[in-house]
Amino acid sequence: MYIVTEDRSSALIDHELAFRAVTEAFVAAATPGAALFPVVIGHGSDADDQFTLKSGASGRFAGVKIGTYFPSNDARGLPRHGTTILLFDQESGRIGAAVEASQVNAYRTAAADAVATHALARAESSVLTVFGTGHQALYECLAVARIRPITRINVVGRDRTRADALRRRLDEHLDGVETRATAPETGCASADVIVTVTTARAPLFEADWVGPGTHVSAMGCDSPGKQELPPALCDRAALFCDLPSQSLRIGEFQHFGGEPEQVTAIGSVLARRAPGRTAADRITVFDSSGIALQDLYVAEALLARARVTDPDDATPADPVGE
């Protein structure tokens, strides 16, 4: 079995690798032959400590992503979030590769945002507003700034201290980009791109605050009851997501009252089988509830990079079963 440790995967990952792998994953997810199975949401001995299992298969590989959220880790000085990706040897059913991917998961999630923004946002989009001030918000902003000419980032957060801390981190990474702590209405009104990356269970803003032509990426809704966007926004927007069946069940569009056919898989847009943005003044919304193929394609890309950089560590037998 090929094992990539957390330290190694953190050294191997970058935004470009994640963007390419997630693009492939979205196209594969919208292609006949790929399979994505229902998400399992569970908890540890302490009910506040949660985990999810996301699994899938394509013609190339099959596997599972295990994500953990243990707030009890705060008392231990450990990160709350953890991720491990397992790729099966499809001939034997044994684990062919295990990739510890907690840091990788931040890039993988942000890449979904970047891929959708690249496909749907107006090319000249220069003002980004981010709702949320946690660890993931930094990666979302950096990923979007790679694929659009962002000159200003508005940070919307409940805690001004945390908002200013995020601004300082952004200033360390992005030259020539102005950052501001902004009120929700002001942030929406001035934005070309809005990204929500929170654990909210109620809308973060009003639908009529979003101007024509804005692209919105909702990144935080991945279980029943979570919600970041006002449902009325869906009535004004073209709707896209990573996997329609999952988005309508546990993603942002669980709160959407329209017809399922109104929600388009982003992979179909990337494969040019469905239209994306159809007019400059059209609002577009992308919901990311997270799919296993994102993790499997990123893991495969990391394994390929690891074999190139550390050939002596490669397992003699093919660990992925390709």
Those residues with Cβ within 8 angstroms of residue 270's Cβ, 6 or more apart along the chain or in another chain: 23, 26, 27, 30, 115, 119
110-290 shares the fold of 2-104+293-313: no
Q: Give the CA dihedral 101, 104, 106, 110, nearest 10 degrees.
A: -140
Q: Are 269 and 120 in contact (CB under 8 A)?
A: yes
Within 8 A by CB and 6+ apart from 109, the residues are: 136, 139, 140, 219, 288, 290
What confidence category does residue 311 fall into, taking pLDDT thresholds of 50, 70 and 90?
A: low
Give the residue numbers marked as catalytic. Answer: 65
- Between helix 135-147 and helix 160-173 the angle, nearest 10°, is 40
Instruction: Give me the residue spans of the domains in the chain.
Output: 2-104+293-313, 110-290
Q: What is the pLDDT of residues 103-113, one digit of tens each?
A: 999 999 999 99
What is the reported pTM?
A: 0.93
**CATH architecture type of domain 110-290:** 3-Layer(aba) Sandwich (3.40)
Residue with more model confidence, 311 or 97 = 97
Q: How far apart are CA 73 and CA 110, in angstroms?
A: 24
**Mind listing the pLDDT tens digit for each residue in 52-66?**
999 999 988 899 999
- Could you tell me the pLDDT band of residue 79, with boundaries at 50, 70 and 90? confident
2-104+293-313 placed in CATH 3.30.1780.10:
yes
State mean pLDDT over 164-171.
Answer: 97
According to the model, what pLDDT value does residue 216 have? 98
Task: Confirm if 286 and 217 have CB atoms less than 8 A apart.
Answer: yes
Specify the pLDDT at position 312: 60
Range 117-140 average pLDDT: 97
Q: What is the pLDDT of residue 203?
A: 98
